[in-house]
Amino acid sequence: MKDYVVTTIALLLLVFGATLTIDIEDLLYPPAIQQVIAPLLIITLVFRIFTSVQVSKLWFWAGIPLGITSSAICLLSLLYNVEGADGFEQKIAYSLISLGYGLAASMLGLTFMGYKSNAASELEEDVPLTLRLLVGSAVLACLLVSTESLIGLSGLLNPSAGLLVFSVILLGAYKSKTGARADGIMSGFVFGSLACVFVGLVGYLFSGLDPKGLGPATETGLLGIIYSGLGVVGATIFFQTKELTQSSVERKNWHLMEIYALWVLMCFAPMSLRESFSFVH
C-alpha cells in the first residue's frame, strides 16, 4: 500500500510541476492519449485478466517506444499539413507531449516491478500466441486509427525506410545466437532506425534546402523511427518475457530515444534563446 501512496504522490508532483510551465489543457493532447494511453490500457486489461505476466514490466518496456512512435507520427502529421512558419514551434511542442506520456508510463512500470521472484515469474508468464496476436493487433489498431485521422494510412508507406529497417532486422535475426532471437530482432530495429536517420540526414543535406528534397528525406527518418518503435513495442508483446533481458530492453529503449532526439534536433529544432532575443529586438 505504501508503494501506491508514494507513487501517487510522485505522479501528482510530476503533473503539478509540468503545469507550472505548460497549461493543463495542452498536456491533454488527444493523439497522445489515443496512441500511448489507449494501447497501454489494452495491454493492462488483457494481460492482467488472462495471464500472470507482470503488467508493470510491459509498461516499463513499451512506454518509451510507444511515446517515441506517437511523437514521430505527430511530427509526420506536421510535415504533411504545414502551411507556413506560424505556430510551427507550438505544433512541435504538442508532438513531444506523446514522448512525455511514454516516459511517465515507463516510470510507473519501473515503480511496480520486481514483486515476484524471477524463477516464479518465468514459469507463470507463458502466454498463448493467439492472445499475444490479439493484444498486438488491438495496439496496432489504436495507432492506425489515430494515424488515419492525422495523415491517412498511406502516409505510413515509405519504401526507402521499409527496406532499410527490414534489411537490418533480417541480418539481426539471422546472426542471433540460439535463444537470443528476441534480442537480435530488437537490436535490428534500433539499428534500422539509425540507418533511416542517417540516410535521411544525408538526403536532407544533399537537398540544398529544396522542399522537394527536404520532405522525403525528413519523412524517411521519421518513418524509420516509427517502424522501429512499433517493432520494439511488438517485441515486448510477442516474445515471452523470459526471452527478454530487462537491462537489454532498457538499453535499446534509451538508444531509440537518443536517435529520435538527434533527428528532432536536426530537423525540427526550435529557435534558440539567442535567436529569439535577436528576433524580438
CA atoms within 13 A on the CB side of 77: 21
Q: How crowded is residue 36: how many other Cβ atoms within 10 Å of its Cβ? A: 31
Residue 88: pLDDT above 90? no
- Which of residues 275 and 120 earns the better pLDDT score? 275
| 251-280 residues labelled b (16+ CB within 10 A) or e (exposed) | ebbeebbebbeebbeebbeeeeeeeeeeee
Backbone angles phi, psi at 23, to 5 degrees: -65, 140
* Residue 119 pLDDT: 46
Picking from 82, 99, 100, the residue whose alpha carbon sits closest to that of residue 91 is: 82
How does pLDDT run across 146-169, given as a tens digit for each residue? 999 888 888 899 999 999 999 888
State the Cα–Cα distance between residues 233 and 165, nearest whole angstrom.
15
Q: What number is the average pLDDT over the span 84-106?
A: 83
Q: What number is the average pLDDT over the span 3-10?
A: 77
Total domains in the chain come to: 1
Q: What number is the average pLDDT over the span 54-82?
A: 89
Picking from 99, 116, 113, 111, the residue whose alpha carbon sits closest to that of residue 261 is: 99
Q: What angle do CA 193, 58, 99 make, to 5 degrees?
A: 50
Picking from 104, 103, 78, 21, the residue whose alpha carbon sits closest to that of residue 264 is: 78
Q: What number is the average pLDDT over the span 168-183?
A: 72
* Distances from the Cα of 220 to the Cα of 83, 161, 167, angstroms: 20, 5, 15
How does pLDDT run across 203-256, given as a tens digit for each residue? 888 877 776 777 888 899 999 999 999 999 998 888 877 777 777 888 889 899
Picking from 179, 224, 171, the residue whose alpha carbon sits closest to that of residue 202 is: 224
Residues across the chain: 281
Q: What number is the average pLDDT over the span 190-203?
A: 91
Q: Domain of 203? A: 2-280
